């Protein structure tokens, strides 16, 4: 079955103190979602592997703000393969201000067949077929794992709204979703990421909570952050330019003094 989700996404970085304050403010309006309710500690694991070219074209497109880019990822809710485990194959793109996600769940057996042969076991499926087409056409390959613990909430009143807190976001270079030898590096160990996902404007009670806690919307691509953390050379050129500019400025000042 294909899941097609179109929604607006609002993201915020919270300190731990803000996390507890915002969470307490939300409690009269929300319930834990199914996955959070059934997680042993109230937070469930999310592990995703992102696809990109050898030169990380998708990373650069995201940084350059290019319109219509498509992100490929495969997601699991455990860090080890299990027979009963389900895998989510996903395509994400942006249309206007809305994020659109096409996804489908496949059994572990189909995912394992894909990793060994490049083909899913399903005969035909629009998401799986497009995933493979894009992977081949753009020469994409697994590049990065992003992992975190998530707690999710849904409104008590009816409405297509989802609120999540992501804890301990970390990344590692990887070529396989269940690579046992990865070294995860934290993104923002002192922060929690709040995400609000809705198909229309946030309800007034939620707007009041966001405003009263002075939360500011940020752009927060976990993939981009992960690349910058595990491959710092991707961001050092800008730093190098600033250092060189300062050095040149000092040199010119010295030259002026010499004259």
Point out the least confidently predicted range of 9-18, 57-66, 113-122. Answer: 57-66
* Distance separating the N- and C-terminal Cα atoms of the chain: 76
Residues 6 or more apart in contact with residue 23 via CB below 8 angstroms: 165
Residue 239: give the domain boundaries: 3-258
pLDDT at 139 over 50: yes
Could you read off the pLDDT of 237-247 as tens digits, one per residue? 444 444 444 44
pLDDT at 257 over 70: no
Place of tokens 């996902």: 197
pLDDT confidence tier of residue 197, bands split at 50, 70 and 90: very high
Q: Which residue, among 2, 46, 3, 76, has the nearest Cα to 164 in the 3D structure?
A: 46
Single pTM value for the model: 0.86
Structure tokens at 48: 């995703």
Compute φ and ψ for 198, nearest 5 degrees: -150, 160
Could you read off the pLDDT of 73-97 as tens digits, one per residue? 999 999 999 999 999 999 999 887 7
CATH number, domain containing residue 243: 3.20.100.30
Q: Where are the alpha helices (DSSP H) in 27-173?
A: 34-38, 57-64, 108-117, 126-137
Question: Helix, strand or coil for residue 120?
Answer: coil
Count of domains forming the chain: 1
Distance separating alpha carbons of residues 73 and 51, to the nearest angstrom: 6
As a whole number, mean pLDDT of residues 19-43 equals 96
Q: Which residue, among 243, 230, 189, has the nearest Cα to 59 in the 3D structure?
A: 230
pLDDT at 223 over 50: yes
């Amino acid at each position: 079955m294909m899941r097609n989700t179109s929604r607006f996404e609002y993201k915020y970085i919270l300190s731990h103190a803000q996390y507890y304050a915002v969470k307490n403010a939300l409690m009269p309006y929300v319930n834990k979602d199914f996955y959070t309710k059934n997680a042993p500690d109230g937070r469930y694991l999310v592990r995703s592997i992102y696809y990109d070219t050898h030169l990380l074209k998708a990373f650069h497109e995201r940084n350059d703000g290019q319109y219509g880019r498509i992100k490929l990822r495969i997601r699991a809710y455990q860090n080890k393969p299990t027979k009963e485990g389900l895998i989510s194959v996903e395509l994400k793109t942006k249309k206007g201000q809305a994020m659109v996600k096409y996804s489908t769940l496949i059994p572990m057996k189909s995912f394992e067949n894909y990793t060994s042969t490049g083909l899913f076991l399903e005969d035909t499926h629009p998401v799986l077929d497009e995933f493979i087409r894009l992977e081949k056409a753009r020469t994409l390959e697994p590049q990065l794992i992003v992992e975190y613990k998530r707690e999710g909430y849904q409104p008590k009143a009816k409405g297509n709204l989802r609120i999540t807190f992501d804890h301990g976001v970390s990344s590692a270079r990887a070529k396989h979703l269940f690579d046992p030898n990865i070294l995860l590096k934290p993104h923002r160990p002192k922060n929690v990421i709040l995400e609000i996902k809705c198909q229309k404007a946030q309800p007034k009670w939620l707007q009041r909570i966001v405003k009263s806690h002075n939360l500011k919307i940020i752009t927060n691509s976990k993939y981009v952050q992960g690349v910058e953390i595990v491959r710092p050379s991707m961001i050092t050129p800008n730093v190098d330019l600033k250092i060189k500019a300062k050095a040149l400025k000092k040199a010119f000042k010295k030259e002026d003094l010499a004259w």
